[in-house]
Structure 1
Amino acid sequence: MIGLSKGRYLAEQAQSAHDIAAAQALRARCFGVDLDGDAFDDRCVHILIRRVMDGAVVCCFRMMPLAAGDISQSYSAQYYELTALEGYAGNLVEMGRFCVDPEMSDPDILRVAWGAMTAYVDANEVTLLFGCSSFAGTETADYLDAFAMLKARHLAPNRWLPRVKAPHVFKYAARLRRKPDAKKAMLRMPPLLRTYLMMGGWVSDHAVVDRQLNTLHVFTGVEIGAIPPARKRLLRAVLG
């Protein structure tokens, strides 16, 4: 059971349908839709970050535990051919629907969220954390330096590389021939993806064009054993 308090925020695991509905409401606000819920919600552990003073949900995400060989049952498998990862040994967790209240900009929210994620990973001996990292909108022009950076430094190892499955994709690794501007790339990189990359994460060689959620997303994997020691210390520092 996840329960983590740090300063003005509290991370807790959803315990009721009311808690999950609160997470879904925040997700709907962030994605600009009337309702955000799917069949995967029932299979996931939902983590809510609340503001202590009033209990408001300011951040949420969900984690779906999967045994080795079961990655084809994940949300991501709707969009990516993940046969290569079926042989990944150990406990897998898909992390998804990570949202922060768009009116909030306190970095402590992310610190508490990542602390809760770390506690879950440690408690469940997770070996691979994965999911879809999203860029806002479906136009690629503003993100070319970011995609060029992903191609140059962060592609998945060939043995784990996801293949194309979705009908609409941007094959940036094959199409881009530009040298990335590092400053522009990091400015346009989604914050969640930046954190994954600092943890040694890797991505698919193409982005899926998801018009339903108005995003471009790349499959992202983080091998827990490969996270740099200094980064692990920072993640666990929140746990006290």
Structure 2
Amino acid sequence: MTMEQAPNGQFEEVEVSAHLPAFQADDQPVLGRIGSLETRLARNGFEIDAAQRVRYQVFVEEMKATLSPDSMRRKRDTDAWDAICDHLLVLDRSIEGDTEDQIVGTYRILRQDVAMKRGGFYSASEFEIDALVARHPDKRFMELGRSCVLPAYRTKRTVELLWQGNWAYALRHGMHTMFGCASFPGTSPDDHALALGFLHHSVLARDEWAVSARPELFQPMDRKPFDPADTRKALATMPPLIKGYLRLGAMVGNGAVVDQAFNTTDVLIVLPISSISDRYISHYGADAGRFSA
């Protein structure tokens, strides 16, 4: 079961399996494997529930997010988009027990064609996504979100497997652009003025890729003058996930958004597939075969 948010803002309990995208099934293939770790999409509602439990551990128990009363009671991070997204998992097969006990990391993926049929993208609650998508009618977008890994597994190989899964998924479904919210800890943008200033002055999405935070939520990123000599220091203060996106060639939307519920300051990452550097495509394989089983 999961909780969907109705138009009146109330949460309603629904059966996850009844809303899974048609291509999600019990025979989802393994997308990558390194040692005892493997990555693939969730195959059923039980695995999605376990991924939601991992998200709760990271977002609530570690990062102090505040969710709906039912989510807090059930110790699961759930929302209305879970029922229409695909859930990428990293599993540690060396852990004894059921598959649900082996999930150590997860990403949530939403394809544009599914989002347009079911109420839009999650990020559109913070950023002006519709205008960006409308500007590119010939491209297919996929939204990445709810990225989290249990503390003991925050290693290079876990991150590589998550990206292996994202890359394989993008190729399989003919995606052109990845995007999604990425977060700084805490709700004070001034605490991240140096990093936000670097993002604004160095990798701001412009022209056809320009996208802004919603006006009523907009927090300026250029909070103080940025000196290029401070680039290394700015990068050192940046969350690893955001640095990882930048290494791939990502841009960042204009303006940050404070998410009080998740206790974060969010920026929008925009990553056209065509912008991913050749060395990373070579690393993961042009056919996503680098770590494939």
**Same-fold status (TM-score > 0.5):** yes
Does structure 1 conserve the Cα–Cα contact (< 8 Å) formed by 2:107 and 2:147?
yes
- Deviation per residue, 1:64-91 (Å, 9 max, x gap): 0114994981001111122133121222
Does structure 1 conserve the Cα–Cα contact (< 8 Å) formed by 2:198 and 2:226?
no
Aligned to 1:238: 291
1:224 and 1:110 mapped to 2: Cα distance? Answer: 18
- The partner residue of 1:43 within 62, 84, 102 is 84
Letter in 1 for 2:212: R
- Deviation per residue, 1:134-187 (Å, 9 max, x gap): 1111122332221121112110023222233263432113x4322152222112
Q: CA deviation at 1:200?
A: 1.1
* Counterpart mapping for 1:77-226 below 5 A: 77-82=124-129, 83-88=131-136, 89-165=138-214, 167-173=216-222, 175-180=223-228, 181-226=230-275
After superposing the two structures, state which structure 1 stretch, 218-227 or 78-87, moved more: 78-87
Task: Say whether 1:13 aligns with 2:41.
Answer: yes
Does structure 1 conserve the Cα–Cα contact (< 8 Å) formed by 2:135 and 2:208?
no
Alignment RMSD, CA only? 2.1
Q: CA deviation at 1:2?
A: 4.5
Which structure has the larger Rg over C-alpha atoms? 2
Q: Which runs of 5+ in 1 are unaligned?
A: none
Task: Say whether 1:31 aligns with 2:75.
Answer: no
1:171 and 1:2 mapped to 2: Cα distance? Answer: 43
Q: CA deviation at 1:198?
A: 1.2
Does structure 2 conserve the Cα–Cα contact (< 8 Å) formed by 1:68 and 1:91?
no
Does structure 2 conserve the Cα–Cα contact (< 8 Å) formed by 1:68 and 1:87?
no
Aligned to 2:112: 66
Does structure 2 conserve the Cα–Cα contact (< 8 Å) formed by 1:91 and 1:127?
yes
SS in 2 for 1:48: strand
Using structure 1 for the length normalisation, give the TM-score.
0.91
Does structure 2 conserve the Cα–Cα contact (< 8 Å) formed by 1:69 and 1:87?
no
Q: Which runs of 5+ in 2 are unaligned?
A: 1-27, 66-71
1:230 and 1:2 mapped to 2: Cα distance? Answer: 26
SS in 1 for 2:199: helix
Larger relative strand fraction: 1
- Cα distance 1:177–1:47, how it changes in 2: closer, same or farther (>3 A)? same
SS in 1 for 2:152: coil
Q: CA deviation at 1:60?
A: 0.2
After superposing the two structures, state which structure 1 stretch, 215-224 or 138-147, moved more: 138-147
Letter in 1 for 2:84: R
SS in 2 for 1:80: coil
SS in 2 for 1:144: helix
2:103 and 2:176 mapped to 1: Cα distance? Answer: 29
SS in 2 for 1:97: strand
After superposing the two structures, state which structure 1 stretch, 43-52 or 190-199, moved more: 190-199
- Cα distance 1:178–1:90, how it changes in 2: closer, same or farther (>3 A)? closer
